[in-house]
């Protein structure tokens, strides 16, 4: 489980590499899993899941990661825990 927050700023709006349909598609192909629920541990939404851009909180790790989030969680401003894998965003 990782403590994260949503990335802010324009970097969260850039497009995934062209071989992926979306950031969620990127996460699913990298993990070999189907993103069926929001990754936030205090949320169980199964509808409208997107590949959210998050960063770790309380860590020296500044990597940008993709993890499945529902749209409301993709817009939350607090810190929260996710139980889904964090897949690093590729360097541009
Ligand atoms: Zn959620």
For the segment 24-54, what is each residue's pLDDT rounded down to a tens digit? 999 999 999 999 999 999 999 999 999 999 9
Q: Is residue 42 a contact partner of residue 66, using CB atoms and an 8 Å limit?
A: no
Residues less than 5 Å from ion ligand 1, measured at CB: 38, 40, 43, 45, 70, 73
Report the domain count for the chain. Answer: 1
Its domain, for residue 33, covers 2-88
Q: Which helix (H) or strand (E) holds 74?
A: helix 71-74
pTM above 0.75, yes or no: yes
What spacing in Å lies between the alpha carbon of 77 and ligand 1's midpoint? 12
Q: Which helix (H) or strand (E) holds 31?
A: helix 23-31
For the segment 47-78, what is each residue's pLDDT rounded down to a tens digit? 999 999 999 999 999 999 999 999 999 999 99
pLDDT score of 80 more than 70: yes
């Amino acid at each position: 489980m990782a403590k994260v927050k949503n990335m802010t700023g324009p970097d969260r709006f850039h497009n995934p590499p062209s071989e992926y349909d979306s950031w969620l598609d990127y996460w699913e192909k990298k993990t070999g899993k189907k993103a069926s629920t929001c990754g936030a541990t205090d949320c169980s939404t199964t509808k409208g899941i997107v590949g959210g851009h998050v960063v770790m909180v309380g860590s020296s790790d500044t990597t940008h990661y993709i993890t499945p989030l529902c749209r409301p969680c993709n817009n939350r401003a607090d810190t929260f825990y996710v139980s889904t894998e964090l897949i690093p965003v590729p360097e541009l």
